[in-house]
Structure 1
């Protein structure tokens, strides 16, 4: 217990109920004390958050929510949460007090554990984490410091196989994730145990805990972590860039089955690991059974030529790894009723060399038969091949399991481009792999094709747009900026593909950002003469594009423009001018030799002015100006010469 520094909370009664009696440890986020629950008269552990964290509202809210969730998680290998509240504004948790030490303390004392001890501790760790995974929780910080090894009822921890293991700090790990990030915005868990996907993507799921548990197993077997160094960032990236080495590379004699287990749990691709702690627990139990059977068979067969007592002593030296006290049994593990004991002294012969030899021969024969029979059952008899269930629908798989007495467990679903939704995309154990008859098969169902909609980013600042794309599992690409009279500079103007388009995970979205209003303001040129408008645009560094149209306005008058007056444009931009061609022209008909008065009436009806000259206004047209078939503006004058 840490008592080196005076602590004002020691001796204080919290909430009128919990009297603090001592300090256990102080961490980066909280301090743990022992306290007496004066209402129930029991010793508890009280964890209170540091004042520096109490100002982080997000952290406090997440810490409180997670505490409530963990309090509902009842499991013999999970440190129970009894109560939560606030003391002088600081959130606290009241938890089960575990008399013992952490796995870190044990490794410091002993450096490393033997394979049977390591498997025994790992089983209980995974049993606790599997319960959390079934409840939808991820620990995110599995490490020896968060694994408590309780003293056995007989006292002490000499026999780690019979010790009770409890996992702590589920809630605190997630609350830390919500508030403690590095400069890149990613959670940096304890780097020696951090999974690659947590380093690269900042995301965690059940397989992240499996990876960390694999690193803890490696450390229990070797006495060291696979990656270490002074720079935490470099250590974290070693998990991304390198495979975890086999424990037997460091410690000779580690069974190959444990090398393989570490390799499967710590694969860099999360999809290649056991789907969750429950799946890894099944593998550990199978490996542990195999290790125990192999040890029993080897020890007994070596003693067959020796005396009966020597053979019995060899049997007693091998721990019965599948036989544990009732208080230390795991709910997931089926127990083997067979135990190996020393020979019964009552069977010893009363006398006579021949009789002793006969009895010894019979005893040895019976012992060999028992060993061979037990070994056959442990290694072969109770096992069969896992059936192929990949590509079955969920309904088909459940029907098949009922008909053939299999138990099914569903892992988190996986997206697939080719396997339809609710169809088995993978299974554990794989088809034809060894499995206990009537055992549990873990199925992963397809979630169908994974698609993400392009979010509506229009008008967002660039930083917010990047965050939206990251949350939608899409990648950002910088597009060419464009000027805009309506969207402020630095805000998103458009995306390609457009909003609402469905894309695959990791697809790229090009974002066009507004450069703000263009630097040159277009003047109002409507009503100006086209020559004046052209000169004005040239002085501004703009180019005039002219389109002539019929109009009631005078010829060469600007009647419209694009862009509109006041718009911003860049240098050398084009401004389109609609220019009047004047009113539509009228074609003067050829009136020669027509009666003068009729010709005059025809011209007037066409909107033309008429002037008659000559000696006989009532005569015939002998000449006209302008001549026939000449186009003229409406209202123009036509001179008729009548004789």
Structure 2
């Protein structure tokens, strides 16, 4: 099941960010959440396994901001019960409803397929046959809701799911199964917002009915208008109005008529233009009364298109002398979901009227051949008749030649070269040539910068209608992902988060950690936030919990005492001496710090003081005793003169060039 939007990251204890704490949760003892599909404005959608019935379901949990109002919870529960009773093949079924952690949730049918928005992103626009086939199934679902007293209020491509056809045929949208989602949910939120805020426009502005903009009311005709806008977008590849602000778009629905689709895409049949016009009239009274009435008009339009195609084929079978009138193929029998209540069943094949026989222009039994022959001889027997016939043949030939030239060549030109240009330059070039621009899904490219045109359709110098649309594929730049913050997650959640960024996961050796419990990720390599390419390897390290031994504090102790204490604990001291003002052999630093957890046999690095820097005793012999005393004091040594303090130094202890600690005593002998 596809929905628009993305998830968020919840806040957990210890300031650790995780992808989604609900992943793996068992809701109501029954629904095991397996993955997050998308996050929208009102709710987050998950895939879950119904462990009781062993089936995959979609679980939609309403956001906390929507569920704070007790009146909202009551309305939501009532709406869920109403939607659950809405059983129809084109409606996404609601199986269950409840509350988890104070938040209301819905359990819905899981549809394997894409939203109509995804289909339009891939195909840009659809042909009239595909568009009407999808619209029929949409209206069949909405008309069932209207009969049950429900108004959808938010009909848009994001709420229309296009699943694979039951026959398994791929690529044929006419045979696909279409389902409509989110019936009634907007109504509960809208009511809550109206109470709290004095009124709020809930519908998406691109598809909003004028009456919702002007006075906030909605009825089945509002859904008809939105469905008409969706049909316009399927046919043209765009919505009718755009603007810088949502309010500007909303008021264009009030002030302007929706243009005819054929004004943007030449070749759309007039009956389809008329269908869009009837559904999108600004006056609700002028629209079909509900989705059922609109469905009837859509089915009639499909019948008209089928008849027109059959008549075109019929005219091509007119021969030179024999007119054969074949049986016109009937429209394929519609399944029961596509017929309105009370609509007649198609007649059995055996009761259809047989085709009229072919008549020969010269069938003398009917007399037609004689009359035609007489008229032909009469006209050709007169000179003016022969001239008129010749002139008619020339005119017909000229018309045919001009028409053939126009349809075959005259209305076409060549597409300009836009590839390798940046987006702004390509748009300017296309505008100068009178072309419109559309954009296909962007693609990553290692060489092209972001927003540079990678490809165009049609290609440069290719044939294109004058004023036609050129589809551009822009570069998304080099595909890069940053390593997400998975520290603190369980290994399963971390693996899921990393795989979403297209990284390959390898598991490193488990390690002890004093802060993180056993079984959660303690580190990744490369580090969190590192930019990576798709397929790069990331090594994940998992915590074994707190280590069994605690490192004692040995800073300030002598090296002998510290070594003995560590060895007794089964730890291995690694000693390195370093100059310091602390006394020699005193431990001044340890790594890891005291209190850290380690395993038995772990290495503990110790920095040990070498003591203060030493001073070299100078030569004092021969100096006057007072001068020798002054020199020693200047070197932070303590002089001790002996015999005659005023004499001359004849001996010293320690001897010259002996290194001693600062403040050491030097004895000088004077005579």
Q: Taking structure 2 as the reference length, what is the TM-score of the superposition?
A: 0.47
